[in-house]
Amino acid sequence: MIKLMEKFQKREWFSSKSNMNEKNTKHILSIMVDNEPGVLARVVGLFSGRGYNIESLSVSEVDSHKFLSRITIVTSGTKLIVDQIKAQLGKLIPVHNLVDISELNSFIGKELILIKLNVKDVVKFELKEKLKKFGAEILLESNSEFIVQYAGTPEEITKLVKLLKNTKIIEQTRSGLVSMATGTDYIKK
Q: What is the pLDDT of residues 46-83, one digit of tens each?
A: 999 888 999 999 999 999 899 999 999 999 999 899 99
Q: Do 94 and 72 meet the contact criterion of CB atoms below 8 Å apart?
A: no
How many domains does one find in the chain? 2
In the predicted structure, residue 186 carries a pLDDT above the cut 70: no
Q: Taking the model in full, what pTM does it have?
A: 0.79
Strand stretches in the chain, DSSP E: 25-34, 56-63, 68-77, 95-100, 107-118, 137-141, 145-152, 168-174, 178-181
Domain final residue, candidates 70, 85, 103: 103
101 DSSP 8-state letter: G
Q: Strand 107-118 to strand 168-174: parallel, antiparallel, or no bridges (unpaired)?
A: antiparallel
SS3 121: coil
Element (H, E) at 22: none
What per-residue confidence (pLDDT) applies to 108?
92
Among 83, 103, 123, the domain boundary falls at: 103
Which of 56, 87, 103 delimits the end of a domain? 103
Q: Taking 90 as the threshold, does the pLDDT of residue 38 lie above it?
A: yes
Domain encompassing residue 161: 108-179
Asked if residue 161 and residue 99 are part of one domain, the reply reads: no
Asked if residue 126 is part of any domain, the answer here is yes
Q: What span, in angstroms and rounded, lies between the C-alpha atoms of 61 and 50?
A: 27
10-14, 31-35, 166-170: range with lowest mean pLDDT: 10-14
pLDDT-derived band at 13 (thresholds 50, 70, 90) equals very low
Chain mean pLDDT for the chain: 86
